[in-house]
Amino acid sequence: MQKRETWSSRTGFILAAVGSAIGLGNIWRFPYMAYDNGGGAFLIPYIIAMLTVGIPFMIMEFGLGHKFRGSAPRIFSSISRRWEWLGWFQMLVAFVISTYYVVVVGWAICYFIFSFTQAWGTSPSDFFFKDYLHLTGSPLDMGGFNWPILGATALAWVVSFIAVFSGVRGGVERLNKVFMPLLFLLVLAFIGRTLMLPGAAEGLQWLFRPDFSAIMNHQVWADAYGQIFYSLSIGFSIMLAYSSYLPKKSDINNNATMTVFINCGFSMLGGLMIFGVLGYMAVQKGVAVSEVVSSGVGLAFITLPTAINLMPMPVFFGVLFFLALTVAGMSSHVSLTEAVVSTIVDKLAMSRKGAASVVCGLGFLVSIAFTMGGGLLLLDIVDHFINNFGVLSCGLLEIIMISWFCKLDELQGHANATSEFSVGAIWQFCLRFVAPIMMTYMVVMNFYTDLNKNYGDYPDAAIMSFGWAILGVCLVLAFVVSSKEMAFAGHTGVNGNFLRRR
Amino acid sequence: MTTGAVIMMVIGLGITWGGASLCIRKAINSQK
C-alpha cells in the first residue's frame, strides 16, 4: 500500500483548510443573509450556530480524517460496509459542484480582465446576460458554445489540475500558501479604500443595524445555521480528505476551531467590503441602500460593476474585487477536486497523476454544459438541488451516523490526545442533538418548499432532469460503486469496532 | 453609524477574529 502523503507544515494545512472554506459564498452570500435577517441581530444566531455546529462538526471531520486516514468512502467503508455508499454520495456531490463552481470562477477570471477597461460599459446587466453569457430563455435551450467562458473555465480547470497533480505538499499546499495571503491582502486593501468613500458608513449601518425582533423568527435561525453549514466545506468529503493528510502527531481541536473562526471572520470582512461599496453606490445614485442591495451572481457581476463605474478609481476596485473573487473560488475548487481525486486514488490504487488527469478531464467535459447559452439557468437549478438536498443530506447522515451509531467517546479521546485543548460533553451534545435537529429542520423545510412549488418557476422537465434526476443518479451510483462486488477491498470493516453495536 | 450598529460590528469582528487570534496564540505557545 502507498504511504499516505502529509502536509509539510501546520500552517500549510490551516491555509488549505481555510482556502477551502472561504469561497464565493463568504463574499456574495453572507453579507446579504445578514442584511436580510435582522442586520446586526443576525450575528447572534450566526455566532451561536458557529459555536454549536460549525466548530463541533469541523472537529468531528478533522478527527475522523486524522484517525482513519482516508477519503470519505474509505473511512465509512472501514467503519461499516453498509455506510460506504454515503462516502461515495458525498464524493459525487463534490464532483458535481466542482463542474459548475469552476464556471463561476471562469466568469470571475473574465471579469478580472474586463475590469481593466470596464468592458461591461454603462449597462452591466445587459452586458452580463446578453453580450457575455448569451443567455437563452430556458434551461432546456442550451444555446451555442461561448468560447471566452469555455476558455476561462478550461484555465481554471488547468490550475486545479496542476495543484492536485503536483500532490498535497507540492501543489495544494503551495498554491494555498500563495493564494490565502494574497486574498486577505486584496480584501483588506479594498476595504481600506472603500471605507474612505462617502456613503460607506451608511452602507455598514444598513448591514449592522440590529433588528432584534428577527431573533424570534425561526427562519432566521435556520438561515444562520444554513450559512454556517454551507460556508465551511463540511459534510461532503473535502475536510475528511484534507485532514487525512495530517501527520500522526497533529492537533485536531485547535486547528478545527481556528479554521472556523478565520472563515467566519473573513465573512465579516466580506460584509464590510460589499456594504461599503453599496453604501457609496446608493449615495451616488441618491437612493436608499435597500434599493441597490443584492446577492449571488447578480451582486458580483451586475451590482458591483455598476458600483465600480461610479467609483473614483474603477480599475483599482475592479481588479481587486474580481481577483479576490477568482482567488477565493479557485482555492475552493482545488479542494473539491482534491476530495474527488483522493477517493479515486484510494479506491483504484491509481497514481495521483492518473487520477487527477481523469477527474479534471471528465470534470471539464461536464463543465462545458454550464458554459453554454443556457448555462446560468442550468447552473442555478443544479446548484439549488445539490446544495439544498445533496450537501445537506450528506452532512445530516454523516453526523447521525457518527454521533448515534459510532463510539463518539473514542473519537473524542483521539482528538483530545493530540490537541492543545480538549472537548467533552458539550461537544458531544452539539453533535448528537443541536446539529441533527437544525439540519433535519432545514432538510424538511427544503423538501416541503420544493415539492409544493417548482424552484425559480422553472418548467417541470428542467426541474426533473437537472434537479431531482442528478441527485437520483448520484445516489444510485453511490450504491452501485459501494455494492458488495465493488466495495473497498482490504479496508471494509477494518475499523468496525468504532461502531457502537456490531 | 448608530451606536447599536457599531456595537454589533465590533461584536462580530471581535468574536471571530478574537477567537482566531486566541487559537493562533495557543498554537504558537505550544510550539515553543
Listed in sequence order, the residues at least 6 apart from A184 whose beta carbon sits closer than 8 Å to its beta carbon are A266
Which chain A residues are within 8 Å of B3, Cβ to Cβ? none
Residue A11: enclosing H or E segment and its boundaries? helix A10-21
Residue A207's SS3 state is helix
- The reported pLDDT for the residue numbered A78 is 93
Q: Is the dihedral of CA A143, A149, A155, A158 positive or negative?
A: negative
Distance CA A157, CA A104 (A): 12
Distances (CA, A) of A256 to A121, A243, A441: 44, 10, 25
Is residue A3 one of the residues assigned to a domain? Answer: no
Q: Does A205 touch chain B (CB under 8 A)?
A: yes
Residue A462: enclosing H or E segment and its boundaries? helix A460-463
- Closest-CA distance of chain A to residue B26, Å: 7
Is residue A1 one of the residues assigned to a domain? Answer: no
Phi and psi dihedrals of A499, rounded to 5? -70, 145
Of B11, B20, B27, the CB nearest to A265: B20
Is residue A2 one of the residues assigned to a domain? Answer: no
Listed in sequence order, the residues at least 6 apart from A261 whose beta carbon sits closer than 8 Å to its beta carbon are A50, B16, B17, B19, B20, B23
Distances (CA, A) of A487 to A67, A201, A472: 21, 57, 20
Q: Looking at A174-214, which runs of residues are DSSP E strands? A: none
Q: Does B19 touch chain A (CB under 8 A)?
A: yes
Is residue A178 one of the residues assigned to a domain? Answer: yes
Locate A92 and state its grid cell. Answer: 459525487
Contact B8 A210 (CB under 8 A): yes
Contact B1 A265 (CB under 8 A): no
Average pLDDT taken over every residue of chain B: 96
Is residue A213 one of the residues assigned to a domain? Answer: yes
What is the phi-psi region of residue A493: left when phi exceeds 0, alpha when psi lies from -120 to 50, beta otherwise? left
Of A47, A208, A251, the CB nearest to B15: A47
Q: Does A262 touch chain B (CB under 8 A)?
A: yes
Per residue in A442-476, pLDDT (tens digit) is 999 999 999 999 999 999 999 999 999 999 999 99
pLDDT beneath 70: ranges in chain A: 1-2, 489, 501-502
Listed in sequence order, the residues at least 6 apart from A19 whose beta carbon sits closer than 8 Å to its beta carbon are A175, A176, A179, A180, A331, A332, A334, A335
The 10 Å Cβ neighbour count of residue A61 is 30
Burial class (CB in 10 A: 0-12, 13-18, 19+), A169: middle
Question: Position of cell 472554506?
Answer: A21
Nearest CA in chain B to A35: B5
Distance CA A328, CA A502 (A): 43
The domain total for chain A is: 1
Q: Does residue B10 carry a pLDDT above 70? A: yes
SS (H, E, C) A319-345: HHHHHHHHHHHHHHHHHHHHHHHHHHH
Distance CA A479, CA A487 (A): 10
CB A324 within 8 A of CB A187: yes
Is residue A305 one of the residues assigned to a domain? Answer: yes
A71: domain range?
10-498
Q: Does residue B23 carry a pLDDT above 70? A: yes
Which chain B residues are within 8 Å of A261, Cβ to Cβ? 16-17, 19-20, 23
Nearest CA in chain B to A45: B12
Chain A residues 278-337 with a CB less than 8 Å from chain B:
none
- The reported pLDDT for the residue numbered A487 is 73
Nearest CA in chain A to B3: A209
Contact B27 A254 (CB under 8 A): yes
Q: Does A369 touch chain B (CB under 8 A)?
A: no
Question: Position of cell 476530495?
Answer: A339
Contact B27 A257 (CB under 8 A): no
Locate A59 and state its grid cell. Answer: 472537529
A67: CATH: 1.20.1740.10
- Closest-CA distance of chain B to residue A247, Å: 15
Of A208, A251, A258, the CB nearest to B9: A208
Contact B5 A205 (CB under 8 A): yes
Which chain B residues are within 8 Å of A232, Cβ to Cβ? none
Is residue A5 one of the residues assigned to a domain? Answer: no
Per residue in A391-420, pLDDT (tens digit) is 999 999 999 999 999 999 999 999 999 999
Which chain B residues are within 8 Å of A43, Cβ to Cβ? 8, 11-12
Which chain B residues are within 8 Å of A257, Cβ to Cβ? 19, 23
Is residue A441 one of the residues assigned to a domain? Answer: yes
Contact B27 A258 (CB under 8 A): yes
